[in-house]
Structure 1
Amino acid sequence: MTGEFGPRNGLLDGQVALVTGAGGGIGRGIALRFAAAGAAVAVHFRTNTEAAGEVVALIADSGGRAVALRADLTVEAECRRVVREAADWGDGVLTALVNNAGVQPVQELPGMTVAEWRAVVDANVSSVFACTQAAAELRSEPGGRLRSITHIASIEAMHPAPHHAHYAASKAAVVMHARSAALEYGPHGIRVNTVSPGLIDREGLTQAWPEGVRRWQQAVPTGRLGRPEDVADACVFLASPMASWITGHDLVVDGGVSARPTW
């Protein structure tokens, strides 16, 4: 497999992974890269049945194994259900979880309501907590083989942008959740890390935000926007045996923009 799949490499042979929010964007890239690395992939989606089905079809057409699973991850019971369904589909096995699903609204902090704040926290943090807890509990079951959990955070966890207060705070919480989970789940053989992307290209981004894209390209040492595959490759690495002694770590994937001086 080539292109957005990347070459087959066998890094995740025998693994069963659940990728949340895998219908499009970064999640799609992660699901496809996991399949290219040999994993069977449960493709979670919330509303876009067609997009999730396309990811599953691409994986199947390339000789992989995948299933689409719908769930509203702002509801705890739905988090637990989709984790259980992924494991049951994997014949009782779930080896990797990638918590990618989330929202990124734009809103000024003055005037933001508590309900609007909570909507972002529920989608970006509470879902991560509930899915992680549910997946970790599988470790104690017969055949339980969970090894790796990866949360998709953001460089905004440390470098907030205007009108992203709720988003930046939620991603900072995700980073600290992973560190705390690494501490408590480590003795059970589960590693927990985060990947913090910078600006990732998507269809229509340059047209919708030309000034922001221009500023990013001027600032980033590598001279380009990120691609979903850049984030996906980091996630594959963290789920692979090559990262067997890496946990509680935030892997920044931003083309080096965080290294740029701000003074």
Structure 2
Amino acid sequence: MKVLVAVKRVVDYNVKVRVKADGSGVETTNVKFSMNPFDEIAVEEAVRLKEAGKAQEIVVVSIGPAQAQETLRAALAMGADRAILIQTDEAVEPLAVAKLIAAIAKREEIGLAILGKQAIDDDSNQTGQMLAALLGWPQGTFASKLALEEGRAVVTREIDGGLETVSLALPAVVTTDLRLNTPRYASLPNIMKAKKKPLETTFAVDLDVDIAPRLVTLKVEEPPKRKAGVKVADAATLVDKLKNEAKVI
């Protein structure tokens, strides 16, 4: 079975995000980028499936500028077999991303698609669900456990009430949650090997997919700074402030 994993190049989670002075977006000049943490979990899970003999090939896909090749090489160093970059310098919305991945999934005859449940830059949590809808495949979102058995994917997923287990007929789409696994660190030999693994570059026009944005960003601004807290003498004073000042009760 062939497994597809989508990975995204995002501002590193250790970097403090700064808004541009003109409010047009987030500052990305001289900023460190890395693979979206949820996508690292997706790559790790695909590699574990291959190591267990459940998958034969892992194809990683990314959509973004030429620099996203670094993100794909990181996934190859973790154990993926080959990579595809759909190159674009434009900001691509979740629906367009889902359409592009769907086109690759059909072309590659994918048996299982694994995606991070969301990206840490926009937190949309939409692409996996849209991909499943476009392909007409069953989906298991927020997976904390994944097992393949007898042509089906058994997914334990986190819901508000606890855990839910669903059995999906393959091909299917699975999105990963934090508790699914702990991604491995790529060893130096694997990093060197990744440089020789195939990486294909294509464009949205080659896939006959319209990626024109549906949304217009009017302004980006930082959230207001929180006011300093105060200490109160007793519970009665606390209730009074919550009622008359904060007006939350």
Q: Which interval holds the TM-score relative to the shorter structure?
A: 0.3 to 0.5
Q: Which has the higher strand share?
A: 2
Q: What TM-score do you get using the length of structure 1 for normalisation? A: 0.37
Q: What TM-score do you get using the length of structure 2 for normalisation? A: 0.39
Ranked by relative contact order (alpha carbons within 8 Å, sequence separation 6 or more), the top structure is 2
Larger Rg: 2
Q: Which has the higher helix share?
A: 1
